[in-house]
Amino acid sequence: MSKRILKRYFSVVLLFVLTFTVFPLHSPFVYAAETPAAASASDILANNQTSQDALQANAEKNARTLTSLYGVDSVSYALIDNGNIVLSNKYTKSSHKTEVPSADIYGIGSISKMFTTTAVLQLAEQGKITLDTPVVTYLPEFTMADERYKNITVRMLLNHSSGLMGSSLGNSLLLQDTDTISHDSFLNQLKSQRLKADPGAFSVYCNDGFTLAEILIEKVTGISFSEYVRKNISTPLNLTKTATPADDISASLLAGTYAKLLSSPLPKESFQVIGAGGMYSSAKDLCSFAQIFMSSGSNPSVLSSSNAAVTKYPEYSRGLWPVNGSALSYGLGWDTVNTSTFDEYGIKALTKGGDTLLYHGSLIVLPEENMAVAVLSSGGTSSYDEVMGENILLDALKAKGRIDTIKPSVTFKVPKKTALPNELKQYEGYYGNVGNTMQITMKEDGLLTIKSLLAPSSPAQIFYYTGDGKFYYTDGSYYITFEKTANGNTYIYHSGYVNLPGIGQMKTSGYLGEKLNDNPISTELEKIWQKRSGKTYFMVSEKYSSENYLMSGPFAKLLMPEGIKGYWMNTAIADENTAKTTLTIPDNYGRDLSDYTFYKEGNIEYVKMNSGVFVSSDSVKPLSAANKKYTVGGKGYAVWYSINQKNVSGKVSITVPKNAAYALYDDNNTCLAYSYVKNNKTVTLPKKGYIVFVGDAGSTFQVKFVK
């Protein structure tokens, strides 16, 4: 339930999830650095074709499973061992007949953050910056509506502890469009934002920190981030298939991306927050890049071994963190510097995942083994890619004799419910996270329910109390408990496993939510917000080439959750036009937060959420049943119209001007047509739904009904 709600919430506020992998839990094992590494896989496999064949066969089996069962269009993978690529291939869904193996460059999403981290550490080596100096020292243009911003250091940008809200990604994820407005306006966007926490208080995933680091690099060096990476990382490492949207990369070299609207590949995805998630690369290139973080194979001309080692420090431990650990364990750039799958074998592993809306990937480095695997995909998620990468590494480690056996997946048993101790009743109440506001109730017999207040029609989740403060999900796959921390807050903590049939299993743990207190407001103020509650709000600030129009309807119902006082969605109402987030959740579920600010222009009310502007359904008029022209206004905001077969039906032809597009949706938020990727001569209007006209200010569309 919570993942479904979270996905929809992100879609609404354009907080595209660059990495939302469920990462394995840290467990305290002795690392392989204390044990001599076995002979390299390249040596053994060269003399053991059976092992090589088995390694390749198992990788292909994983790839087939991803493309047949998990919605993956193609997957490319590579394994490097002591400087040698010992395994690589690309596997494509059988229905994509035009996809070729040589098109093996993918968008790598947040794996880009490791290039940004490397660039920052290079500048530190050169004495041009120091990690613990405030960012404003080097970038005085950086200001915020919160004086605490002056305390944000360079290190905090790389370890996710800056306190920035999370993701200012408006107009950043485009199709066949290299417009840099998202990058160019980023500092201006931050000027009106506040921080969600004191800088350094805790680490929680933050894309904006890396966009700020990208701009810092450009300021210090005087050249673009793309040029810097090309000259100082890609060229010295001979990464011939690593690029950014600023580079002239042929579409024929890119792995195809797909949507239900088209049988052919989509236009090139261009993610214009390059330092946070906008780079392209191949699996082989990423493996070559990974060598700079290994014990041998490092390249001092790119990054010294001492600075490479700095990235592995458990940066998450500098601030508030779950007592029982988390699946995440941030280093500098890395998602995990303690990775349970390999901890169980006493092997150190570093991981970085990445997701855009179309591309996904995982990079896993075993620094003491001098091994790395990269798995990149079109479609799917980085979670799937990471599990596949773990499987490849474990097979290779077993083949070279580094491990004796591969441990089986954990099995579960149905929990046995026991009576609830009275002292646990204090944890009943309301909890919030980035995508949900929940109510937790408990019964004396040990039954706990979690009900979403933002999706009240969804069934509640059921847990059974089993003792030791733990409540297990009905199938026994994971448990939740409650934790009071030094900051005075109470958090829901979870730990467990997610099975991926045919691929493997993921360990997941960390804080799921923070307890919310009532926020008493006056009757008059409540009436103002109740008038807004339950209405659908439509994105108007994204340009015509935005990928967001294609993937789902950029609109959703916003509401005041029932039961808890003074809240709008997951934020506390502050005055008649503002609701502010109060969440301070380390780890992952406190990422990508936003305040809500309502304002009027004339008689039209808008709401600003982070970098997106939305308009309520009050201002969405019905589409005319007559032939008519529709014009985008002077601000360039998208213009929305509702469709109802009682008033309008049939087929229409739409004349689309230059630098413009229309998109058509049914009432289930499914995109039925998007002229930017396919301009149909005619389209059939749904029984119920919406149409949006998007383009430069003054763009005029002609709609004609046809028989």
CA 153 – CA 138 distance, rounded (Å): 10
* pLDDT tens track for 48-57: 566 788 999 9
> Which residue in this structure is represented by tokens 């490492």?
237
CATH 3.40.710.10 fits 62-400, yes or no: yes
Question: pTM for the complete prediction?
Answer: 0.93
Which amino acid makes up residue 389? G
CB atoms within 10 A of CB 628: 12
- Please choose, from the candidates 387, 384, 335, the residue with its C-alpha nearest in 3D space to the C-alpha of residue 111: 335
The pLDDT value recorded for residue 261 is 80
Q: Are 23 and 339 in contact (CB under 8 A)?
A: yes
CB atoms within 10 A of CB 556: 19
Kindly tell me the burial class for residue 262, based on how many C-beta atoms sit within 10 Å of its own C-beta (0-12, 13-18, 19 or more): middle
The three-point CA angle 131-132-138 to 5° equals 70
Q: Beta-strand (E) ranges in 528-586?
A: 536-539, 555-557, 567-568, 571-573, 578-580
Put residue 594 in one of left, alpha, beta given phi > 0 → left and psi -120 to 50 → alpha: beta
The pLDDT value recorded for residue 7 is 37
> Which residue in this structure is represented by tokens 């092997």?
347
pLDDT at 40 over 80: no
* pLDDT tens track for 650-684: 999 999 999 999 999 999 899 999 999 999 999 99
> How does the average pLDDT of the chain come out, rounded?
92
Strand partners, 79: 87, 373
The pLDDT value recorded for residue 707 is 84
CA 448 – CA 456 distance, rounded (Å): 17
- Order of strands across the sheet that contains 683-684: 628-631, 700-706, 651-655, 683-684
Confidence of residue 325 (pLDDT cuts 50, 70, 90): very high
The alpha helices in 192-264, defined as continuous H runs, are 207-221, 225-229
The pLDDT value recorded for residue 30 is 30
Q: Give the phi and the psi of residue 575 in degrees, each rounded to 5.
A: -155, -165
CB atoms within 10 A of CB 649: 15
pLDDT at 251 over 60: yes
Kindly tell me the burial class for residue 288, based on how many C-beta atoms sit within 10 Å of its own C-beta (0-12, 13-18, 19 or more): buried
Q: Are 319 and 343 in contact (CB under 8 A)?
A: no
The pLDDT value recorded for residue 279 is 99
Per-domain boundaries in the chain = 62-400, 422-515, 523-618, 620-706
Mean pLDDT of 465-481: 98
pLDDT at 22 over 90: no
Q: What percentage of the chain carries pLDDT values higher than 70?
A: 93
* pLDDT tens track for 115-155: 999 999 999 999 999 999 999 999 999 999 999 999 999 99
Give the 3-state secondary structure of residue 391: helix
CA 425 – CA 224 distance, rounded (Å): 56
pLDDT at 191 over 90: yes
Taking CB atoms within 8 Å and a gap of at least 24, the contacts of 48-55 are 48/399, 51/399, 52/86, 52/399, 54/395, 54/399, 55/79, 55/86, 55/87, 55/392, 55/395, 55/396, 55/399
- Please choose, from the candidates 78, 75, 80, the residue with its C-alpha nearest in 3D space to the C-alpha of residue 63: 75
Q: Beta-strand (E) ranges in 468-543?
A: 470-473, 478-484, 490-500, 504-516, 536-539
CA 567 – CA 454 distance, rounded (Å): 11
Q: Are 190 and 136 in contact (CB under 8 A)?
A: no
Q: Are strands 350-355 and 359-366 parallel, antiparallel or unpaired?
A: antiparallel
The pLDDT value recorded for residue 49 is 62
CA 205 – CA 218 distance, rounded (Å): 23
Q: What is the DSSP string of 239-292?
A: -TT-B-TTS---GGGBPP---TT-SSPPPPEEES-IIIII-EE-HHHHHHHHGG
Q: Are strands 371-378 and 74-81 parallel, antiparallel or unpaired?
A: antiparallel
Q: Are 505 and 387 in contact (CB under 8 A)?
A: yes
pLDDT at 645 over 60: yes
The pLDDT value recorded for residue 480 is 98
Token pair listed for 142: 């950086």
Q: Beta-strand (E) ranges in 55-138?
A: 74-81, 84-92, 106-107
CA 661 – CA 639 distance, rounded (Å): 11
* Architecture of the domain delimited by 620-706: Sandwich (2.60)
Of the options 3.40.50.1820, 2.40.128.20, 3.30.1490.20, 3.40.50.720, the CATH number for the domain spanning 422-515: 2.40.128.20
Confidence of residue 203 (pLDDT cuts 50, 70, 90): very high
Q: How far is CA 536 from the centre of its chain?
A: 24
Kindly state the DSSP code that residue 634 receives in the 8-state scheme.
T
Confidence of residue 396 (pLDDT cuts 50, 70, 90): very high
